[in-house]
A and B are shown apart, each in its own frame.
Chain A
Amino acid sequence: MNLQPDDFWTFSEWLLRPGSFLESAMLQGVVLIILAIVLGLTVAYVISAARYGPGEGFYAVARAVRDFLFSDLPGTSPRRIFALARLAFKEAIRRKVLFVIGLFVVILLLAGWFLNPESDNPARLYISFVLTATNYLVLALALFISAFSLPQDIESRTIYTIVTKPVRATEIVLGRMLGFVGVGTAMLVPMGLASFVFVDRGLDHTHYEVVEATEENGVITGTTDYVRNHRHTFTIQEGETQGLTDIRRGHRHVVTRKDDGSFVIGDPSGHLRARVPDYGEIQFYDRSGEPKEAGIDVGQERLAGGYGSAGISRLIGVAKGTRKLEHGYVEGGTLGMAEFTFDNVTKDRFPGPIDVDLSIRAYRSYKGDIESGIRGSLTIKNPDTNAESNPIAFVVDEYEIDERRLPLEIEGTDANGETRTLSLFDDLVNEDGELQLLLRCLDRGQYLGVTKSGVYLRPAESTFAWNLTKAYISIWLQMTMIIGFGVMFSTFLSGPVAMVATAVCVLLGFSAESIYDTRYYIDSNIERGGGPIESLVRLVKQDAQTTQLDVEGVANTVIKSADALIVYTLDAVATALPNLPRMVGTAEYAAGGVDIFAAILARLAVATFGYVLLAFLISYFFLKSREIAA
């Protein structure tokens, strides 16, 4: 899993962005709310003024605001909200939305045909499939139930039976939202359970027999049969009846030797992980040992990358340059290296040897020895005293997570330059609890590639079930957000239109990144197909993306400026909308066997709360205005 810079932000970093406040989420939220209030008031005043005249209109708006602040909001009763929520819940159930669970089960049943359990990392395919399937299904469901309910009530006039009771508009809106969220939750739970069972069962397999076993000095080594494109080797130590197989495709089995000499191979274990990573700061050094901002680019193809999420700063054109993190390479046999600085390395967090996981790529600039892989080394260093351990050599294991351990005692050179056995915590960790790992490539002329997320310490391990739950919480948050939007639109639009409007928001949210990217290309004059009109022209003319637009004169200017206008507008809209791909992205963590960071969930939760609050405010005023009209 290749993480992007903003994935590493802590919650407060995300909220405040120390150093570049323009990118902060807080600013984005505040601006959005102020904008909404200003815009709301203006529109409300214009409408009221048209209806009641300029003077009376002003009072109408002022009254609405006063009502909201002084009577409706304080007078909102949780009991009534709950009653309305129950109503919405029942109504939704009566509309047979539970059918979606059945649909989900059918999808799961069919999914077995398309997911290949024989692939290199089946866990990843399975988990990301169930999570994305759930995600899209639940979003679609939220869209439908939230957008149609209110307009239908208004149309069939059942709403009057409610509004004639002493309920407030706040309660109606909140009741709907809560009711639908309740329905969604009631559906997410069984879907989550089904997903867990599906993944667990889908990855389960049995090796039936041991095809080869030899005994030497009491140590038994053997090979299992070939199932799902792999076989394991195992060793059973002298005097023991049980042994472990090697790790293949992310899992291993327990092999038990029975009294009659036959073997029993247990169920797979270890393919469903939730590693809790502790990332460090990365610093590259070039071949002469000079610090560099990035590693060497070995010229591998990269995905197009734009600004990423830079918040308001992108919108007003302050953000510069691409922000995609790519693999940086260090040259072998030179002073080039990647230095990772980890903090908070304490005995409490790491009671035993320190687990360190490596995901490193190798790049050969010449063929070299084919049969042996590229070698690298890890050196542990104290950032203050410069005490260094002897390098720990390894052979690169690409596209796997290579799990290693840093010993507590290791030979090395201490602060005075003497060679002796160093204690990890006493000699190699400084007083602030910092420790450095130096990654070098040992083969001259060959390269090792790494990103910030390529080397991390693993102080703990969470459970897969909890991690899956967190992924589901992320889906739940998205659902809540969509329900908020749906209810908001349904207060002033008819059912289908409200649904389309919500769907447009969702789609814009999903394509936010590509809109940012398009803007990035337009800003920095990179030919990448341009905006919508230019793309259309290119499609018709069958021109390549990266050529200059083959249109001369005024037409060119018109196309380019119209495109810029469209893209900038879309950019502004997309910035105002939730960044849904990021939310869906939590599935990647679960699939990649990495514990979903609490910071990320917190960010999503706060963003959701913000958007729902906004939706609630807008809904309230629209409903209020309709009541006035009615």
Chain B
Amino acid sequence: MNQSTAFRRKLIYLVILIATLVPLYVLGQPSDGTEDSGGQLAQMRRDFEISESDLGEISPASETMKLASLGLRGVAATLLWEKAHEYRVMHEWDRLKASLNNIALLQPHYDKVWEHQAHNLAYNVSIEFDDYRQRYEMVREGTEFLTRGVRQNRKAPRLIWYTGWFYGQKIGMSDEKRQFRKLFADDDILHASLADEGIAVDSNEALGPYQKPDNWLVGRLWLNYGYGIVDGGIKIRRQTPLNFYETGPKWSFKYAEAIEKEGVLDQRAISAWTRASENWERFGSRSIPTTSPFTIKLGRVDELRQQRAEKVEAFRALGTDIYDEMKQERMKNLPPDLQKVLDKAPEDRTEAGKQAVADLENYQPNMQEVVKRLPAAKQLAAVELMEEMKDLDARISKTEGYRKQINYVYWNSLALAEQEDRTVNARKLIYDAEKANADAEIDLAIKLYEEAFEIWAEIFDDYPILTIDDSAEDLFQSIRRYMIAIDSQELPPDFPLTTFAQMMNNEVGIQDAKLYERVRNEQAELARKRKEELAEEERRREAEGDSAEGGEPDDETKQSDSNAAGAAEPMEEAKEDAPGDGETKAKDESASNESADPEMTEKPANEDKSATDKPESDKPESDKPESDKPESGDQPQTEENSATEEKGGDEKTSGDEPPKSDESAGTAGNAG
């Protein structure tokens, strides 16, 4: 090696050094504080609002930690993570928390870490304690850990959502929910720190029935805070918007359910349900981004249908003759039964008939062929209309799919049913009856039970959807206790809830959708037959010389009752089954029963139109919160959703039931 090669080598080193400095400069140049200054990293830091100076809290501890790890932050965090796991296995909770703290100091902007470890503390560690107060402490620690994460990551709505989830789900649905909720309500120190975070725990929005903060409502406030942030333009990451938005309104349902379970069965419960209903409606009118390029509003599917119908009308108006001609051609090929239904005015059709007609949309003439036959001048307008219809179709099916995913209709009618005085009264009676039963005042209990069952029968008639509600199971337990109280293996012959009880008895596992469906079908069939018989009887009585008006008032009371409740679907049914409608109708019904699924008559009309849009495809796997983490007792949200997905089809109503295991376990525990 002579001098020149040595020199050349030095030159090469120099060039490499300079070459590597260039990207370093571009990436790492610090910002001077003005907009668009600084290198790539500085820009990203600004975009995600994670540069420490933005947060107003430069943490010297965090910086020292980062410096001390000499750029090996990732390695240090991994080692700490390993240690944290070890401490968890060894039940060294204090040290576990200390290591988590250090991980958070090292990598404060890795939001999944906050989420995972907060879950670890609140769910996995808390259950290791035998004393429920210690468990609560640990749940609180976990939640506060998460809150710290929220403070340090301003652009992570999912962390905020998760905090809201913890306050609601963990405190409100654990085995020890009764105790947790009480501890939470009395936890002044936590309330103070929540107030510091900007959560208005002393506002009416957060106060429960006893003027103390309620965990569900506080959880909802957190979620609302998250919604505010997203409305302010920050993207939702690692979560579907639907899942993100539905939780807040649901928490107001959970709140109402929780206070009712705890015996608050008066005006406060009613107003809780009213509020839940309002929130659900507001949710329905919120624009929700979808996997398609457009957003949808869950509560506006009828408007979309209306718009579509208008478009069809407009299309028809373009070429009336051709359209009708082609329609007639198609109609001729229809079976005579269907033709009969079509001949009738829409308001005269039976429920089954309507169902059948709905299917007839398929027998509408093919638009494209219509367009071809149209005069050239009208073709452009027609094609445009067709495009618009196509777009509307896409929106409708997407909306339907999303509604199905979260069981929109179920929650809607639940809120409507529950805010009635009658329902609250029925619940109160059951609650009192249970209490009397527990106090061994058997006679009083039986009396209260019977009163309650009467009302419940009425409620179920008006809101059949409630029979698959979670509280239906509780009611069934009450029926069982009633049977024990009256000391009988069989229900009395005139028992108002006989069908319900039989149905509940039949379902060995309510998860078995097929079996459940069959039972319900049979029930619907039986009910209809029975009602027909009743109608027959009524008519006979009328014929036996009573005045013609005799039957009517009865009918009207029933209608007005339903109107008051504002439930569209069951009202339809009530109308259909109203006696005194004449013979033709009865025939119609039997005729249409052949072609249409008889079960449909009992179902809410607009619930399952779209079979094309499968909700599964809209739900990315990654959105499932923490399904890999072991949990005891608490079912995570996703299980609800995936249950919906699996069931699909007609069985949507039972799909979105609130987690059951917890509830039933709670009941069993209380009973024991």
Residues of A within 8 A of B (CB): 2, 110, 113-116, 119-121, 124-125, 226, 301-303, 361-362, 364, 367, 370-371, 373-374, 396-399
Q: Could you tell me the distance between the alpha carbons of A362 and B175 in the complex, rounded to whole angstroms?
A: 17
Interface segment out of the listed B57-65, B505-513, B652-660: B57-65
Question: Interface 1/0s, chain B 78-117, versus A by CB < 8 A?
Answer: 0000000010011101110110011001000000000000
Could you list 19 A-B pairs, sorted by A, with CB under 8 Å? A2-B90, A113-B60, A113-B61, A114-B102, A114-B105, A116-B97, A119-B97, A120-B93, A124-B94, A125-B94, A303-B89, A362-B130, A367-B175, A370-B176, A370-B179, A371-B132, A398-B129, A398-B131, A398-B134
- B89 partner, pick from A114, A302, A361, A371, beta carbons under 8 A: A302
Q: Is B189's CB within 8 Å of the partner chain A? A: yes
Can you name the residue of chain B whose Cβ is closest to the Cβ of A327? B91
**Is A370 a contact of B669 with CB atoms below 8 Å?**
yes
The residues of A that contact B669 with a CB separation of less than 8 Å are 367, 370
A373 touching B130, Cβ below 8 Å? yes
| A125: chain B residues within 8 A (beta carbon) | 94-95, 98
- Known A367-B669, A370-B175; judge A226-B101 contact (CB<8 A): no
Interface of B is mostly: helix
Q: How far is the CB of A7 from chain B (nearest CB, A)?
A: 15
Is B568 engaged at the interface, CB distance under 8 Å to the other chain?
no
When C-beta atoms are compared, the residue in chain A nearest to B131 turns out to be A373
Q: Does B665 contact A (CB under 8 A)?
A: yes
| A68 to B317 Cα, complex, angstroms | 121
Q: CB within 8 A of B101: which of A116, A124, A301, A370? A: A116
Complex interface: chain A residues within 8 A of B89 (CB): 301-303
Cβ of A303 and Cβ of B90 under 8 Å apart? yes
The interface residues of chain B lying within 8 Å CB-to-CB of A2 are 90
Q: Which A residues touch B60, using CB under 8 A?
A: 113
Contacts of A362 in B (CB 8 A): 130
- 8 Å CB interface, B221-249 against A: none
Interface size grouping (class) on chain B: 20 to 34
**The residue from A303, A396, A399 contacting B93, defined by CB atoms under 8 A apart:** A399
Q: Are A114 and B86 in contact (CB under 8 A)?
A: no
On whether the beta carbons of B90 and A399 are closer than 8 Å, the reply is no
A385 vs chain B, min Cβ distance (A): 35
A116 vs B90: C-alpha distance when bound (angstroms): 20
In the complex, what's the smallest C-beta–C-beta distance from B108 to chain A, in angstroms? 14
Which residue of B86, B94, B98, B130 contacts A398 across the interface (Cβ within 8 Å)?
Answer: B130
Closest-by-CB residue of A relative to B88 is A301
Give CA–CA (A6, B134) in the complex, Å: 33
**CB-based contact B132/A370 at 8 Å:** yes
The 9 A-B residue pairs whose C-beta atoms are closest, nearest first, are A113-B61, A362-B130, A370-B176, A119-B94, A301-B89, A121-B94, A373-B130, A120-B94, A370-B132
Q: Give the CA-CA distance A371 to B94 in the complex, in Å.
A: 24
| Cβ of B95 to closest chain A Cβ, rounded Å | 7
Report Cα–Cα, A67/B656, bound state, in Å.
91
A622 to chain B, nearest CB (A): 36
Of B102, B105, B131, B665, which contacts A367 at CB under 8 A? B665
Residues in B with CB closer than 8 Å to A301 are: 89
CB distance from B72 to the nearest CB of A (A): 17
Most buried by B among A119, A124, A302, A374: A119
Most buried by B among A303, A371, A399: A399
Q: Could you list 11 further interchain pairs (A-B, Cβ under 8 angstroms) beyond the known A125-B94, A370-B179, A398-B134?
A: A114-B61, A114-B98, A116-B98, A120-B93, A226-B189, A361-B91, A367-B175, A370-B176, A371-B132, A374-B130, A398-B129
Query: Please, how many angstroms separate the alpha-carbon atoms of A362 and B91 in the complex?
Result: 12
Complex CA distance for A301 and B86, rounded to whole angstroms: 10
- Min Cβ gap B667→A in Å is 12
The 8 Å CB contact of A114, one of B101, B129, B134, is: B101
Question: A121-B94, A302-B89 given as contacts; is B176 within 8 A of A114 (CB)?
Answer: no
Query: Min CB distance, B191 to chain A, in Å?
Result: 12
Residue of A nearest to B177 (CB): A370
Q: Please measure, in the bound complex, the distance between the C-alpha atom of A125 and the C-alpha atom of B95, giving whole angstroms.
A: 7
B189 to chain A, nearest CB (A): 6
B64 pairs with A396, CB closer than 8 A: no
Minimum Cβ distance to chain A for residue B400 (Å):
41
CA distance A362 to B86 in the complex (A): 20
A113 — which chain B residues lie within 8 A by C-beta?
Answer: 60-61, 64
Q: How far is the CB of B544 from chain A (nearest CB, A)?
A: 62
How distant is the Cα of A396 from the Cα of B129 in the complex, in angstroms?
Answer: 10
A110 to B59, CA, bound (A): 13
Do the beta carbons of A364 and B130 come within 8 Å of each other?
Answer: yes
Asked if B130 and A396 sit within 8 Å, CB to CB, the answer is yes
B129 proximity list for chain A (CB < 8 A) = 398-399
Closest residue of B by beta carbon distance from A112? B61
Q: How far is the CB of B87 from chain A (nearest CB, A)?
A: 10
Per-position 1/0 for B155-188, Cβ under 8 A of A: 0000000000000000000011001000000000
* CB of A333 to closest CB in B, whole Å: 16
A114 to B60, CA, bound (A): 11
Q: How far is the CB of B390 from chain A (nearest CB, A)?
A: 46
Kindly state the separation between the CA atoms of A319 and B60 in the bound complex, as whole angstroms. 50
Q: Are B179 and A371 in contact (CB under 8 A)?
A: yes
Contacting A at CB under 8 A, from B620-672, are 665, 669
Contact A119 B61 (CB under 8 A): no
Which A residue's beta carbon lies closest to that of B97? A119
Contact across chains for A110 and B64 when beta carbons are under 8 A apart: yes
By a CB distance below 8 angstroms, the chain A residues around B98 are 114-116, 119, 125
Q: Shortest CB–CB separation between residue B134 and chain A, in angstroms? A: 7
A303 contacts B130, C-beta separation under 8 Å: no
Please, how many angstroms separate the alpha-carbon atoms of A371 and B670 in the complex? Answer: 12
Chain A residues near B101 (CB, 8 Å)?
Answer: 114, 116
Nearest-CB residue, chain A, relative to B65: A114
A398 to B133, CA, bound (A): 12
Q: Kindly state the separation between the CA atoms of A399 and B130 in the bound complex, as whole angstroms.
A: 10
A401 to B484, CA, bound (A): 47
CB distance from A322 to the nearest CB of B (A): 15
The minimal Cβ–Cβ distance linking B548 to chain A, given in whole angstroms, is 63
Q: How far is the CA of A364 from the CA of B94 in the complex (A)?
A: 23
Shortest Cβ distance from residue A575 to the other chain B in the assembled complex, whole angstroms: 24
Contacts of B64 in A (CB 8 A): 110, 113
Q: Is B94 a contact partner of A303 (Cβ separation < 8 A)?
A: no
- Give A597 to B530 CA distance when docked, in angstroms: 85
Residues in A with CB closer than 8 Å to B105 are 114
Q: Which of A113, A116, A397 has the most CB of B within 10 A?
A: A113
Q: In angstroms, how far is the closest chain B Cβ from the Cβ of A483?
A: 27
CB-CB < 8 A to A116: which residues of B?
A: 97-98, 101
Q: Is the CB of A303 within 8 A of B86?
A: yes
A1 nearest in chain B by CB position: B92
Alpha-carbon separation in the docked complex, A339 to B195 (Å): 52
A401 to chain B, nearest CB (A): 14
Q: List residues of chain A with CB within 8 A of the CB of B95.
A: 125
Question: Measured between C-beta atoms, what is the minimum distance from A593 to chain B in Å?
Answer: 13
**What separation, in Å, do the CA atoms of A580 and B175 have in the docked complex?**
45
Distance between Cα atoms of A302 and B88 in the complex (Å): 10
CA distance A125 to B93 in the complex (A): 11
Rounded to whole angstroms, the CA-CA distance of A226 and B189 in the bound complex is 9
CB contacts (< 8 Å) of B91 on chain A: these are 361, 399
How near does chain B come to A412, taking the closest CB pair, in angstroms? Answer: 28
Closest A residue to B64 using CB positions: A110
State A565–B341 Cα separation when bound (angstroms): 87
CA–CA, A2 and B92, complex, Å: 10
Q: Which residues of A contact B131 (CB under 8 A)?
A: 373, 397-398
Give A549 to B93 CA distance when docked, in angstroms. Answer: 35
A120: chain B residues at CB < 8 Å are 93-94
For the complex, give the distance between the alpha carbons of A587 and B436 in Å.
60
**Nearest CB of chain B from residue A125's CB, rounded to whole Å:** 6
Q: What is the 8 Å Cβ interface bit string for chain B, positions 308-337, against chain A (1 contact, 0 not)?
A: 000000000000000000000000000000
Q: In the complex the two chains form, what is the Cα distance from A364 to B60 in whole Å?
A: 43
Q: How far is the CA of A371 from the CA of B135 in the complex (A)?
A: 11
Residue of A nearest to B174 (CB): A370
CB closest chain-A residue, reference B137: A120
Report the minimum CB–CB distance from B31 to chain A (whole Å): 26
